[in-house]
Amino acid sequence: MTDSATSTPVLETKDLVAGYLPGVNILNGCSIVANQGDLIGIIGPNGAGKSTLLKAVFGQVNVRGGEILLHGEEISGLKADKLVTKGVGMVPQNNNVFPSLTIEENLEMGVFQDPRSFKERFEFVAGLFPELVSRRRQRAGSLSGGERQMVAMGRALMMDPSVLLLDEPSAGLSPVRQDETFLRVAEINSHGVTIVMVEQNARRCLQISHRAYVLDQGKDAYTGTGREMLNDPKVIQLYLGTLATDVEEKAKTASQATVEPRQAE
Ligand SMILES: Nc1ncnc2c1ncn2[C@@H]1O[C@H](COP(=O)(O)OP(=O)(O)OP(=O)(O)O)[C@@H](O)[C@H]1O
Ligand SMILES: [Mg+2]
């Protein structure tokens, strides 16, 4: 993280309002800031609008109000291919590789707007994900979930993005693979790539995030450093859940129920 309090953020959304169906807004005034070198975590309940936020930034959802600024320039309304050339990389939550293409072809697709840079960018991606190199001729559809995630991130990195949007990179992976994915994300960030990462695995996400936002009903409900959020009782109670407390509470309720029978609801 850099001292960027006075410099223009890489990515900023201001009071963003967006939705899919007429008259139904999913984002209801969502504001986030990602400064140069930041790793920003976005957590929140299912359906809060986390994926919608990333999709809106990436030109895939109608923006109805507010602003999206990339290095201070308004980008809302631009289409994904244009955004890619401007330095926005996106790894969607689902269907993020071309399964019938090989690993290498997937990476070529990442750089199709600037094929001459393939060799140089491939070397960068290969440095991050060396295991992909020996299997570069393997079809992406035959890879494990974790390996696919690497291909998807590699593809997005081929255009040398200044900001990388990641939608649930650890979803569906085993705990060991999840840890590995978070380490890779932190490593990509250490190369200076600003990252905005949506995650279901809130605890791990906060552990590696410089700053984070809780999204609730399409609005940024809380923000703070990853560490602050991990220790914030409100965030813990509402969004992180504490299994130990839950179990204690349930046990207490159960023992009370035997003494005072529950009234009919
Ligand atoms: N293509 C679509 N058309 C209409 N509504 C949609 C569409 N995609 C998402 N929505 C709605 O937008 C709301 C927010 O969805 P979104 O996918 O952004 O949530 P999320 O926070 O990413 O949830 P999750 O944690 O389950 O991934 C949901 O109510 C969802 O039904
Ligand atoms: Mg989502």
* Domain interval for residue 105: 11-251
55 lines ligand 1 (CB under 6 A): no
Look over the chain and give the mean of its residue pLDDT values, rounded to a whole number.
90
pLDDT at 20 over 60: yes
pLDDT of residue 252: 66
pLDDT of residue 233: 86
CA 80/CA 71 separation, integer angstroms: 17
Number of domains in the chain: 1
Q: Where does the pLDDT of residue 113 fall: very low under 50, low under 70, confident under 90, or very high at 90 and above?
A: confident
Smallest CA separation from ligand 1 atom 13, residue: 47
| Cα–Cα distances in angstroms (integers) from residue 30 to residues 1, 95, 217, in the given order | 23, 26, 10
DSSP β-ladder status, 211-216 and 219-225:
antiparallel
Counting from 1 in the atom list of ligand 1, the atom nearest the Cα of 93 is: 27
61 lines ligand 1 (CB under 6 A): no
- The ligand that comes nearest to the alpha carbon of residue 42 is 1
The dihedrals phi and psi of 167, each to the nearest 5 degrees, come to: -105, 105
CA 124/CA 92 separation, integer angstroms: 21
pLDDT of residue 72: 97
Asked if the structure places residue 265 within a domain, the reply is no
Q: Report CA(166)–ligand 2 centroid distance (Å).
A: 10
Count of alpha carbons within 13 angstroms of residue 208, beta-carbon side: 24
pLDDT of residue 265: 39
76 lines ligand 1 (CB under 6 A): no
Name which of 98-102, 130-134, 223-227, 231-235 the model is least confident about.
231-235
51 lines ligand 1 (CB under 6 A): yes
20 lines ligand 1 (CB under 6 A): yes
Tens digit of each residue's pLDDT (9 = 90 or more) over 57-91: 999 999 999 999 999 999 999 999 999 999 999 99
Tens digit of each residue's pLDDT (9 = 90 or more) over 128-142: 999 999 999 999 999
Q: Where does the pLDDT of residue 48 fall: very low under 50, low under 70, confident under 90, or very high at 90 and above?
A: very high
Asked if the structure places residue 207 within a domain, the reply is yes
pLDDT of residue 112: 85
Asked if the structure places residue 91 within a domain, the reply is yes
Q: Report CA(55)–ligand 1 centroid distance (Å).
A: 10
Asked if the structure places residue 3 within a domain, the reply is no
Positive/negative CA dihedral, 75, 97, 167, 52: positive
Asked if the structure places residue 4 within a domain, the reply is no
Asked if the structure places residue 239 within a domain, the reply is yes
CA 83/CA 76 separation, integer angstroms: 10
Tens digit of each residue's pLDDT (9 = 90 or more) over 176-216: 889 999 999 999 999 999 999 999 999 999 999 999 999 99
Smallest CA separation from ligand 1 atom 29, residue: 47
25 lines ligand 1 (CB under 6 A): no
CATH of the domain at 49: 3.40.50.300
Percent of the chain with pLDDT over 90: 76
- Which of 16, 43, 51 best tests ligand 1's pocket when mutated (most atoms within 8 Å of CB)? 51
Smallest CA separation from ligand 1 atom 24, residue: 46
pLDDT at 219 over 80: yes
Counting from 1 in the atom list of ligand 1, the atom nearest the Cα of 52 is: 18
- The ligand that comes nearest to the alpha carbon of residue 48 is 1
Q: Name the residue with higher pLDDT: 249 or 167.
A: 167
Asked if the structure places residue 256 within a domain, the reply is no
pLDDT of residue 215: 95
Asked if the structure places residue 69 within a domain, the reply is yes
